[in-house]
Amino acid sequence: MSMAAQQGKTAGRAAWSASPLFVMGLVLALVPVMLLFPLRVPIGPMYWDVFIYYDAANRIFDGQVPVNDFFVPVGPLGYYLFAGWLALFPNGAPTLLAHWSLLAVTAPLMALVVRHVDARSRTTAYALLIPFLIFALLPFNSREFYPFPGSDGFGIYNRQICQMLYVLVAALMFVRNPRLLALIVATAMTALFFLKITGVVSGAIICLFAFMAGRVPLRYALAAAGAFLAVLTLLELTSGLVSHYVQDILALVAINSGSLAPRFLQAISHTFGVLLPAGALILLLIWSGRDKLAARFSAIRAERSAASIAKFLDNDAFWLAVVLFAGITFETQNTGSQAMIFVWPVILSIVMRSGSLMAKPKLLIATFVLAAAVALPPAINTIERAARAYAGSVKNFPLEHANLKSLGAVTMRGDVLDRSNNMIEFYPVHRAVYEEIVRMGELPSFVLYSDFDFQITHLKAIDRAIDSIKALEAENGVRFETIMALNFVNPFPWLMDRSAPEHIAIGADPMRAVPPPGPLVADSIRETDLILHPKCPPTTANAVLLELYAPMMAGHRKIALDACFDAYVHPKFAGKLD
């Protein structure tokens, strides 16, 4: 081989190794490696939200179908993805496994975007890729909800929606091949529909504007819509899943009915740090480009054509306004998420077009400052929270347990461990006090479910309860095949290799996500072998669930399983229990 050919080959390898697609593959290759090992992560607020995924996966492994066979608070796709990843990585850290499972969808789509953009500009491709990797890899919400650092156990499906919207907006802003764009839009919108309905609503707002602005030609828009509807039709004809899903959504809307205005105000207040500079940037862009906008508006009046309307609408200020509105719409239904991360591709477009302001340095500087104020805080906050959580966990203590599988792979500060040890003994002795608090309609702490010590105490109580169940079974020669919990979460079937009763809601928040029980739910509860009621401490939600399902549990026998759990045993075991 000649020297020139050798140099060309070396240069080619160097260029490929520097490509964003190669870097993306290299970084994402670490994901399965980290999931193969039983890593312990610092416990975070509402850690028990990840239990929902294990409950759903266990049901799926049993042959149950989300939506069709049990009520879910969101769409079924996230649970199927998690079940697949759990089958591959049974020892993976729960918060990492749940957060990363969406990479099965977002990573291939983002790779298509990056590859397409890299052909025109490697810098732009990296500018799209790096923020995506930050948010896709770090299991943290962009807004801090609790003062102590830890991996956020809640808002997982909201974070996944935001990452999916990031890919969608990146494609609409930078992909110029209409066939590729139609493929990405159809796939992203289908995923959004089956992840969470508010996600597809936000995506539809953005896609509709993209069509009106001429980013998606009519033929390819129809092709993307046709592919989306074809998937829905196929699933409906083969399983009835779509109609059942819509019925569940309507049931949730009925439970959570109320004025949207307070929710919009709440979403605005939660994202004000992004909305304020973004609003200022929109006004600045309109002002600096007012002559061009005026000319394009005049063209609409003169030509009265779709092309002139599209040319007018395809403006960075309008894009930013629409994406912000879609983001606020999505956040009206959320507590935690990676709010507004999908404005970054729009901000990148604004920065790339700012060269026209070179003759106006003040406007140019103002544009850069406002763009940075919009885009940087969510990423910086996420990185900072991850650094605090993981660096601070060096001195943490692992949770000791016997029955929790990977759900127990968490660490905590020493004072949290001491407090949980104290409280798990304190709650039973002083149960009357906590029951009185429940009768008042209050929790022992306003942020009880976020408190790390509550999450640890609950894990310990579950661990002990499993020992108690096994002892009860061994002493009486019985086996409880179906287990239900009168609680927000029910990890017992997965932890004990048993089954959960069909038709019962997972993520059972009786105030927001448990519809009135129908005949199928009633029959399923009557046939459940063991129903568990946690009492360390008693809570308002658990009391409501007990009251809701009590008529269907009338035949069950109540026993004190242990200090932290009551149990209701199916009457078929009446003659066998001591």
Q: Is 412 helix (H, G, I), strand (E, B) or coil?
A: strand
* Mean local confidence (pLDDT), 45-63: 96
Report how far apart, in Å, the C-alpha atoms of 13 and of each of 6, 17, 111, 114 are: 11, 6, 19, 19
CA atoms of 153 and 167, how far apart (whole Å): 23
Which tokens hold the place of 498? 């048993």
Going by C-alpha positions, the residue among 534, 514, 538, 510 that lies closest to residue 438 is 538
Question: Is residue 421 very low, low, confident or very high in pLDDT (cuts 50, 70, 90)?
Answer: very high
* Mean local confidence (pLDDT), 116-144: 94
Mind listing the pLDDT tens digit for each residue in 440-455?
Answer: 999 999 999 999 999 9
- pTM for this model (two decimals): 0.94
* Mean local confidence (pLDDT), 71-86: 96
φ, ψ for residue 158 (rounded to 5)? -70, -40
Mind listing the pLDDT tens digit for each residue in 472-502?
Answer: 999 999 999 999 999 999 999 999 999 999 9
pLDDT at 145: 77
Number of alpha carbons in the 13 Å side-chain half-sphere of residue 207: 26
Helical axes 414-429 vs 431-439, angle rounded to 10°: 90
Q: Are 529 and 573 in contact (CB under 8 A)?
A: yes
Mind listing the pLDDT tens digit for each residue in 138-182?
Answer: 999 988 778 888 888 888 999 999 999 999 999 999 999 999 999
Q: Point out which residues pair with 557 in neighbouring strands.
A: 569
Torsion angle of C-alpha atoms 10, 16, 18, 19, degrees rounded to 10: 160
pLDDT at 575: 78
Question: Is residue 551 very low, low, confident or very high in pLDDT (cuts 50, 70, 90)?
Answer: very high
User: What DSSP element (H or E) covers 397?
Assistant: strand 397-398
pLDDT at 358: 63
SS (H, E, C) 270-333: HCHHHHHHHHHHHHHHHHHCHHHHHHHHHHHHHHCCHHHHHHHHCCHHHHHHHHHHHHHHHHCC
pLDDT at 164: 97
* Mean local confidence (pLDDT), 55-64: 97
Q: Is the dihedral of CA 87, 89, 93, 95 positive or negative?
A: negative
Which tokens hold the place of 162? 């935001």
Mind listing the pLDDT tens digit for each residue in 516-528?
Answer: 999 999 999 999 9
Q: Are 125 and 110 in contact (CB under 8 A)?
A: no
Mind listing the pLDDT tens digit for each residue in 181-217?
Answer: 999 999 999 999 999 999 999 999 999 999 999 999 9
Q: Is the model's pLDDT at 222 over the cut of 90?
A: yes
CA atoms of 121 and 131, how far apart (whole Å): 17
Which tokens hold the place of 215? 């980013």
Whole-number percent of the chain with pLDDT over 70: 95
Domain boundaries, the chain: 1-389, 414-576
Cis omega before residue 537 (within 30°)?
Answer: yes
Mind listing the pLDDT tens digit for each residue in 10-52?
Answer: 555 556 678 999 999 999 999 999 999 888 999 999 999 999 9
Question: Is residue 7 very low, low, confident or very high in pLDDT (cuts 50, 70, 90)?
Answer: low
Residue 153's contacts (CB-CB under 8 Å, 6 or more residues apart) are 43, 44, 45, 46, 47, 48, 49, 50, 94, 95, 455
Which tokens hold the place of 360? 């106006």
Question: Is residue 257 very low, low, confident or very high in pLDDT (cuts 50, 70, 90)?
Answer: low
* Mean local confidence (pLDDT), 419-448: 95
pLDDT at 14: 55
Mean pLDDT score across all residues of the chain: 92
Q: Is the model's pLDDT at 269 over the cut of 90?
A: no
Mind listing the pLDDT tens digit for each residue in 349-381?
Answer: 999 988 766 667 888 899 999 999 999 999 999
User: What DSSP element (H or E) covers 560?
Assistant: strand 557-560
Question: Is residue 261 very low, low, confident or very high in pLDDT (cuts 50, 70, 90)?
Answer: confident
User: Residue length, the chain?
Assistant: 578
pLDDT at 9: 58
CA atoms of 566 and 575, how far apart (whole Å): 19
